[in-house]
Amino acid sequence: MSGAPWLSWIKNERREEDSQFMKLQARFNALPPAVAALTAFGLGSATAMSAVLVYKRYGRRIRNSDWITPKLLTRKRWLRGVATSVGDADNFRFFHTPALGGYTWPLKLRSIPSLSKDLKDETIHIRVAGVDAPEAAHFGKPAQPYAAESLEWLRSQILGKTVYCQLYRRDQYSRIVAQVYLAPRILPGFLFHGKNVSAEMLKAGWGVTYEQAGAEYGKLGKSEFLRLEAEAKAARRGMWEGGKMVETPSQYKRRHAAAATLGEAEAAKPRSGRLTPKKSWLRSLFTRS
């Protein structure tokens, strides 16, 4: 009984590979020693350089926002990581986990810190691009309606989960503005992206389209963001449940900024009325008599 056809095919392939290797080795041995040494050095240098480039792209972890260079923003670099905390409804803390950094299988050698003290200076502050969520209470200012609900929604979507961030720019608070995507359920994340967090927020009715200077909308574009917002309003989802126009986060900020400016101006105004000079004790004594 003859053997399986694929066994003979494998043997022929091996013979062909051995033959090609012997030819290359013979050609290399025929080179002058100086040329052979130079060739070996060049190949070694190219290999080392390739290893460095691969490490810089897929192995080096970006610890925090200070490590993000202008080149990374210009190239709109993609980063994979985990949302470790969500303090506001449109921004969060992101722990970068590069593909060859040892944080994922089958190369899992490290774990993401869970304590706040261990995460200090080890996360990137991400501002979700293209959307504005209701403002929480800050610096003595009251929270906007639905601020707590918007925050809870974002936490339910990303906290403790793997997300993909496409970096765009650094804002006035040194946060990194990025389009944020959830990890796909089945397909590999390095080839496919899951749902866009900004788009999902608008669909759910927990944010509005950010239209101030420096707005970034990614491949979806501003028109799609506005369409999703209008759709949520019409369906009375999230903060649109009452069917009424609500004060947007940008209007809220402008109102409080104007109130603060007006308060400072009022405090700086001179008091009206004539000032009465304070009497000395000697003058008071003669006045009584």
pLDDT of residue 47: 54
37 and 74 inside one domain: no
Task: Kindly state whether residue 70 falls inside one of the protein's structural domains.
Answer: yes
Number of domains the chain contains:
2
Query: By C-alpha distance, which of 64, 88, 94 is closest to 179?
Result: 94
Task: Kindly state whether residue 22 falls inside one of the protein's structural domains.
Answer: yes
Amino acid at 147: A
- 201 vs 279, more confident: 201
Give the pLDDT mean for 198-203: 99
Task: Kindly state whether residue 275 falls inside one of the protein's structural domains.
Answer: no
What is the residue-averaged pLDDT of the chain? 82
Give the pLDDT mean for 206-211: 97
Task: Kindly state whether residue 45 falls inside one of the protein's structural domains.
Answer: yes
**For the domain that residue 97 is a member of, what is the CATH number?**
2.40.50.90
> How much of the chain exceeds pLDDT 90, in percent?
55
Give the pLDDT mean for 115-136: 96
pLDDT of residue 34: 64
23 and 161 inside one domain: no
Confidence check: pLDDT of 169 > 90: yes
- Contact in structure between 77 and 176 (CB atoms under 8 Å): no
Any idea which of 74-88, 122-136, 222-236, 266-280 has the lowest mean pLDDT?
266-280
Residues 64-104 pLDDT 10s: 999 999 999 999 999 999 999 999 999 999 999 998 888 88
40 and 82 inside one domain: no
Task: Kindly state whether residue 270 falls inside one of the protein's structural domains.
Answer: no
Range of the domain at 130: 65-245
Task: Kindly state whether residue 4 falls inside one of the protein's structural domains.
Answer: no
111 and 240 inside one domain: yes
Give the pLDDT mean for 19-37: 67
Binned at pLDDT 50, 70 and 90, residue 55 comes out as very low
72 and 130 inside one domain: yes
The alpha carbon of 108 is separated from its chain's Cα centroid by a whole number of angstroms, namely 23
pLDDT of residue 51: 45
Distances (CA, A) of 250 to 131, 133, 178: 11, 9, 19
72 and 112 inside one domain: yes
* CA dihedral of residues 239, 241, 244, 250 (deg, nearest 10): 10
121 and 235 inside one domain: yes
Catalytic residues: 127, 135, 175
Give the pLDDT mean for 144-153: 96
75 and 25 inside one domain: no
Highest-scoring range by mean pLDDT, 27-36, 255-264, 270-279 = 255-264
> How much of the chain exceeds pLDDT 70, in percent?
71
224 and 150 inside one domain: yes
pLDDT of residue 132: 97
Binned at pLDDT 50, 70 and 90, residue 273 comes out as very low
215 and 77 inside one domain: yes
Confidence check: pLDDT of 262 > 90: no
Binned at pLDDT 50, 70 and 90, residue 280 comes out as low
Cα distance between residue 131 and residue 89, in whole Å: 10
Task: Kindly state whether residue 268 falls inside one of the protein's structural domains.
Answer: no
SS3 at position 47: helix
pLDDT of residue 187: 73
- Contact in structure between 137 and 88 (CB atoms under 8 Å): no
20 and 132 inside one domain: no
**Hey, what are 215's tokens?**
């707005």
CA atoms within 13 A on the CB side of 139: 5
Q: Is omega for the bond preceding 5 within 30 degrees of 0, making it cis?
A: no
- 177 vs 16, more confident: 177
Confidence check: pLDDT of 250 > 50: yes
Instruction: Give the pTM.
Output: 0.72
Task: Kindly state whether residue 5 falls inside one of the protein's structural domains.
Answer: no
pLDDT of residue 6: 43
SS3 at position 137: coil
Give the pLDDT mean for 158-173: 97
26 and 50 inside one domain: yes
